[in-house]
Amino acid sequence: MRAKQTIRRHGNTAIAIALLTVLILIPVVMVLLRSFTVDRVFHPLNPIRTILEGELAEVLFNSLQLGITVVIFTTVIAAPLAYLTSKTELARARWIDVALLIPFMTPPYIATMGWILFMQPRGVVEEYLPFLSIFQPLFFSFWGVAFVMSLNLYPFIYLVIKNNLIEITGSLEDAGAVHGGSFWYRMRRIILPLLLSGYSMGALLIFVKTLAEFGTPATLGRRVGFYVFTTEIYQYTRMFPIDFARGTALASVLLITCMLIWYVQQLIANKYKYSIVGGRSGGRKMYSLGKFRFLGWAYIGLLLLVSIGVPYWSIITASLLRFWGADITLANITFDHYIELFTPGTLGGSSLWNSVYLSVIAATIAMFLGTFLGVLIVRSRGFLQRFIDSSSLLSNTVPRIVIVVGLILLWNSPWLPATIYNTAAMVAVAYVVAFLPYTVQYVKASYQQIDISLFHAAQVSGAKPGYINRRILFPLIRPGMVSGWIMTFIISVRELVASMMIRPPHIETSATFIFRQFDQGVIPLGMAMAFTTVGITVVVLLIVQGGQKQLGNG
Amino acid sequence: MSIVVENVEKTFGSVRALQPTNVTVETGEFVTLLGPSGCGKTTLLRTIAGLEVPDNGTIKLLDRVVFSKPQGIEVRTEDRGVGMVFQDFALWPHMTVFENVAFGLRARKDTAQLRERVGWALDRVQLGGYDDRYPKQLSGGQQQRVSFARAIVTEPKIILLDEPLSALDAVLREGLRLMLRSLADELGLTAVYVTHDQHEAMSISDRIVVMREGVMLQTGAPEDVYNNPEELFIAEFVGTTNFIPNPNGSSDEHLMTRPEFLTLEKDSSEDLEFSGTVEMVSYVGDRYEAQLSVDDRHWVAYFDQRPRIGQELTLYLSPRHVHTIREEVGETTKEGLV
């Protein structure tokens, strides 16, 4: 019996390795090979040479500048907020964390469009808030790109800092105070050092996310002549004249930069990680704002206004206008654009339907594949386990645009006898590859939380392996599987870069539809689609969470 | 003979968790494996359950060979038919109390009169009517009782208990210990109980097996282990020990006694006399426990009245309460503790 189990496990391992190699590893390797090989000669400096010869150094510089600026902006925005909601009486307002999910869950390209509508000539600012018009030139520049991206990413670093602050128990601070440390001394000697590891991890992640982000640079950056890695990769691999040498050179440099940063991040995490000891969580040390409380609220209010109010107000009003550019009057307001999106046969309707069904397929495949891989990773040991683990999470580290370039290189290869390239299936495959890590991580996490004795108890009770899987393992990892499905679905349904790069000419998705309408100035219809997409993700989230809760209790 | 363990040994990497070990447990006997953490007691228990595969040896349960390295026999855990209670309860959080208890019956497709038999098991642990609760809705003591019920519902002949009380607080432990023992007697179970708590071991067991570093040091009734420890380690691990200076001056013979044998009054002319200085006194409800220094050794003695700190006392001890431990050659001596 044991022998049979061993054979089955080896079989599963082989299947997993084969799938991961074809889906993820070969595409990434093809990007690297293509960029390192010029005229059939391999040279480690080829990508750099291509970039310098192609006068793309500016792109490299722009990306790094943007990354650093966004890290600084998000820190400046998030640090006071994290302090307010963890160390002062504002901590009671838990709804703030829920509200901050909104900018985080808003696709960057949609938020950016909202801001453009707000700031552009004859936009909201010029019409209703003329005193803010002085910021117009500043917004339509590098600073605007950095600003909008920061507004999208600050909730991330906020949560990192806040969770770290919460972990620092009051007794650590009290001990500092008892031994004579003033407030600022305790900050400098106790709080900040303990925050360092978590913060630097968060900051590096923000940096990587900024480098890899396509939406904002593609909408606002290109408009103001600010080009970065992702926009140029798109340009060279999708737009005429296609130049894969330059495209893959940029993709390789982006990939290697991101990998290096991940590596540095791991080093920092291991070196400066303190486990803040004491199994009992003592209370936090709280500070009262006293009469300055209104300042705290004002800050939070302003932040929510800027990161949620402005983009959504612009998007929603634009989506309701009968004629773009006319005044907002009752006569000019209509739901026609929404109705059009839900009418079969229209371009909008078919785009929306394509996105929904491709995302459902992708989420379902990703759920099963991710569960298979996640379970296998937890159950295996040694080199093969690390191999499966790191390659199934590779799409987390590798920027999505690089993966997509790799998928194009592989699936569009002339030597393939048959291919799904240029079909809708290719889009679903791209979603699966890009978002597989979510399910793998959720399933792994929920499996690892299961104490081994729960399986031993079942064994002692006389249960065979299959019975244990069915009655113990699957019920307990089901929440992870469901979370993986939701996450894959809601990210796929609005995914811009993969859709734009890999879609066949005749297939439009909601994201590419929004992008094109916005580009061509058909604003109201595009914005109606934008708001619908966000709405769908919210509805799915609510439905599944409600169902999950019922299952959990029942 | 319900359980026979012969020459079972186990190594984890470079750690010798279990030296070749032989244990037999009679039918209906309640045997405790006692020792500090890392002594191999849990490993031994888990090899009996089949959760750990020994490197060598033979294990028989109810005269059936369930493991034999020489014969190449290895019966899987699920086919050994023992009941087991885990330290952390190991209740399945997504199942009700009823389903947790019913699991073993369903897994074996033995579902005739399922409801009655689960009810019977829950009644045994006084949890009748808790069927529909989830584990998280129960207290720690109730959770552990559910796991007893789960272990007995299939009516096994053998039950294995892996530190079942150590995750509970002191008050609960006492009550559950009594319940466990009387349940085992009532159902005629053969029980192997693992603990690092000497009080628990002495109060619950018919027989104690003291272990250290993968080796069984001594086996015997609780009284035996307490009064006649065969090694220094056991003397110190089980109960409180006062070491007596050896009149022969021999260093591989250790004389010792227990605090309760020291008196302030001389009973007979043969009594040994010691003078000591009181260093510390603690009141424990029914008596005073005093730390004394006697010839530079630290002793403990019990009194009815509070002695003063610094008081000089003469203590008497009957020679029949002096126990001698002979170090075997090659054994490590623990001079530092004397």
Residue of A nearest to B156 (CA): A461
Q: Do B77 and A451 touch (CB under 8 A)?
A: no
pLDDT of residue B316: 93
Q: Do A461 and B104 touch (CB under 8 A)?
A: yes
CA dist., res. A216 & res. A222, Å (int): 9
> Which among A462, A471, A476 has the least Cβ separation from residue B78?
A462
Rounded to the nearest 5°, which phi and psi values hold at A298? -60, -40
CA dist., res. A534 & res. A352, Å (int): 12
Q: What is the DSSP letter of A291?
A: G
Residue A266, pLDDT above cutoff 90: no
Residues of B in contact with A453 (CB under 8 A): 86-88, 90
Mean pLDDT of chain A: 88
Whether the CB-CB separation of A38 and A46 falls below 8 Å is answered with yes
Domains identified in chain A and CATH numbers:
1-41+335-554 (1.10.3720.10), 45-113+149-275+284-293 (1.10.3720.10)
Question: How many interchain CB pairs under 8 A, A with B?
Answer: 69
Residue of B nearest to A552 (CA): B94
Kindly report the pTM of this predicted structure: 0.83
Q: Do A461 and B49 touch (CB under 8 A)?
A: no
Residues of B in contact with A462 (CB under 8 A): 78-79, 81, 104, 107-108, 154
Instruction: Give A451 to chain B, closest Cα distance, Å.
Output: 8
pLDDT of residue B57: 95
CA A358 to chain centre: 19
Q: What is the 3-state secondary structure (H, E, C) of chain B?
A: CCEEEEEEEEEECCEEEEEEEEEEECCCCEEEEECCCCCCHHHHHHHHHCCCCCCEEEEEECCEEEEECCCCEECCHHHCCCEEECCCCCCCCCCCHHHHHHHHHHHCCCCCCHHHHHHHHHHHCCCCCCCCCCHHHCCHHHHHHHHHHHHHCCCCCEEEEECCCCCCCHHHHHHHHHHHHHHHHHCCCEEEEEECCHHHHHHHCCEEEEEECCEEEEEECHHHHHHCCCCHHHHHHCCCCEEECCCCCCCCEEEEECHHHCECCCCCCCCEEEEEEEEEEEECCCCEEEEEEECCEEEEEEECCCCCCCCEEEEEECHHHCEEEECCCCCCCCHHHC
pLDDT of residue B281: 93
Residues of B in contact with A474 (CB under 8 A): none
Which residues 6+ apart lie within 8 Å of B150 measured at CB?
A457, A461, B83, B91, B100, B101, B103, B104, B121
Instruction: Give B116 to chain A, closest Cα distance, Å.
Output: 18
Q: Do B90 and A467 touch (CB under 8 A)?
A: no
Average pLDDT over residues A224-229: 93
> Which among B79, B88, B104 has the least Cβ separation from residue A451?
B88
Residue of A nearest to B107 (CA): A463
CA dist., res. A235 & res. A251, Å (int): 12
Residue A32: is it exposed, middle or buried by C-beta count within 10 angstroms (0-12/13-18/19+)? middle
Q: Do A460 and B49 touch (CB under 8 A)?
A: yes
pLDDT top residue among A90 and B116: B116
Whether the CB-CB separation of B308 and B262 falls below 8 Å is answered with no
Residue A501, pLDDT above cutoff 70: yes
Residue A61, pLDDT above cutoff 60: yes
Whether the CB-CB separation of A216 and A112 falls below 8 Å is answered with yes
CA dist., res. A18 & res. A105, Å (int): 34
The predicted-structure confidence for A189-221, as pLDDT tens digits, reads as follows 877 877 887 888 889 989 999 999 999 999 999
pLDDT of residue B198: 92
Residues of B in contact with A2 (CB under 8 A): 74
Q: Do A461 and B154 touch (CB under 8 A)?
A: yes
Can you read off the two tokens belonging to residue A215? 């939406």
Chain B CB within 8 Å of residue A472 CB: yes
pLDDT of residue A359: 96
Q: Do B86 and A457 touch (CB under 8 A)?
A: yes
Q: Do A461 and B82 touch (CB under 8 A)?
A: no
Can you read off the two tokens belonging to residue A450? 């299961």
Which residues 6+ apart lie within 8 Å of A186 measured at CB?
A173, A176, A177
pLDDT in tens, chain B (338 residues): 799 999 999 999 888 999 999 999 999 999 999 999 889 999 999 999 999 999 999 999 999 999 999 999 999 999 999 999 999 889 999 999 999 999 999 999 999 999 999 999 999 999 999 999 999 999 999 999 999 999 999 999 999 999 999 888 888 888 999 999 999 999 999 999 999 999 999 999 999 999 999 999 999 999 999 988 988 889 888 888 898 887 776 677 888 899 999 999 888 888 889 999 999 999 988 899 999 999 888 999 999 999 999 999 999 999 888 888 887 644 444 333 32
Cα atoms in the 13 Å half-sphere on the side-chain side of A284: 20
**Amino acid of residue B75:** V
Q: Do B94 and A457 touch (CB under 8 A)?
A: no
pLDDT of residue B118: 96
pLDDT of residue A447: 94
Mutate which of A451, A461, A471 to test chain B, going by most B C-beta atoms within 10 A? A461
The predicted-structure confidence for A20-32, as pLDDT tens digits, reads as follows 999 999 999 999 9
pLDDT of residue A275: 57
Residue of A nearest to B92 (CA): A454
Question: Which stretch of DSSP H or E encloses residue A407?
Answer: helix A400-411
Beta strands B83-85 and B56-61: pairing type?
unpaired
Comparing CA positions, the residue from A537, A499, A486, A519 lying closest to residue A407 is A499
Residues of B in contact with A463 (CB under 8 A): 78, 103-104, 107
Q: Kindly indicate whether the ipTM for this predicted assembly is greater than 0.90, answering yes or no.
A: no
Mutate which of A453, A456, A460, A470 to test chain B, going by most B C-beta atoms within 10 A? A460
Instruction: Give B211 to chain A, closest Cα distance, Å.
Output: 24
pLDDT of residue A554: 37
CA dist., res. B103 & res. B90, Å (int): 13
Residue of B nearest to A454 (CA): B90
Q: Percentage of chain A surpassing pLDDT 90?
A: 55
Residue A240: is it exposed, middle or buried by C-beta count within 10 angstroms (0-12/13-18/19+)? exposed
Q: Do A464 and B78 touch (CB under 8 A)?
A: yes
Q: Do A463 and B78 touch (CB under 8 A)?
A: yes
Instruction: Give A463 to chain B, closest Cα distance, Å.
Output: 5
Can you read off the two tokens belonging to residue B70? 């020489």
3-state SS class at A214: coil
> Which among B90, B91, B93 has the least Cβ separation from residue A456?
B90
Residue of B nearest to A453 (CA): B90
Rounded to the nearest 5°, which phi and psi values hold at B316? -115, 145
Chain B CB within 8 Å of residue A467 CB: yes
Instruction: Give A266 to chain B, closest Cα distance, Å.
Output: 29
pLDDT of residue B337: 32
Q: Do A457 and B147 touch (CB under 8 A)?
A: yes
